Amino acid sequence: MSASDTALRVDRVTRTFANDTGIRDITFEAANRGITAVIGPNGAGKTVLFTIIAGLASADSGHVVAQPGARTAYCPDVPEFESWLTAREVVENSAAMCGGTPSRTAPREALALCGLSKVENRGVANFSRGMLQRLGLAAALVLDPDVLILDEPNSALDPIGRADIRAVLEEQRQHRCILLSSHLLSEVEQLADHVVVMNEGRLISSGTTSQLLTRAADPTWNIRLSTPLTPEGARMSEHMLRARFPETRIRFPTDAICQARFSSFEQAHTELPRLIAALPAPLIEVTLEGRDLDAAFARLIGDPHP
Ligand SMILES: Nc1ncnc2c1ncn2[C@@H]1O[C@H](COP(=O)(O)OP(=O)(O)OP(=O)(O)O)[C@@H](O)[C@H]1O
Delimit the domains of the chain by residue range. 3-215, 218-289
pLDDT tens digits, one per residue of 178-191: 999 999 888 898 89
Specify the fold of 218-289: Alpha-Beta Plaits (3.30.70)
Q: Which residues of 223-244 are buried (b: 16+ CB within 10 A; e: fewer)?
A: bebeeebeeeebeebeeebeee
Atom 14 (ligand 1): residue with closest C-alpha? 45
Task: Report the separation in Å between the CA atom of 22 and the middle of ligand 1, taken as the mean of its atom positions.
Answer: 6
Most ligand 1 atoms within 8 A of CB, residue of 15, 17, 203 to mutate: 17
Task: Report the separation in Å between the CA atom of 240 and the middle of ligand 1, taken as the mean of its atom positions.
Answer: 54
Instruction: From the CA of 40, give the closest atom in ligand 1.
Output: 21
Most ligand 1 atoms within 8 A of CB, residue of 26, 47, 74 to mutate: 47
pLDDT tens digits, one per residue of 279-295: 999 999 999 887 778 87
Q: What is the pLDDT of residue 92?
A: 93
The model carries a pTM of 0.82
Task: Report the separation in Å between the CA atom of 56 and the middle of ligand 1, taken as the mean of its atom positions.
Answer: 14
Task: Report the separation in Å between the CA atom of 103 and the middle of ligand 1, taken as the mean of its atom positions.
Answer: 33
Task: Report the separation in Å between the CA atom of 32 and the middle of ligand 1, taken as the mean of its atom positions.
Answer: 27
Q: How many helices (H) and strands (E) does the chain have?
A: 10, 13
Atom 24 (ligand 1): residue with closest C-alpha? 42
Give CB contacts under 8 A, 24+ apart, made by 171-175.
172/141, 172/148, 173/33, 173/34, 173/35, 174/33, 175/33, 175/104
ipTM score of complex: 0.98
Res. 126: pLDDT tops 80: yes
pLDDT tens digits, one per residue of 84-94: 999 999 999 99
Specify the fold of 3-215: Rossmann fold (3.40.50)
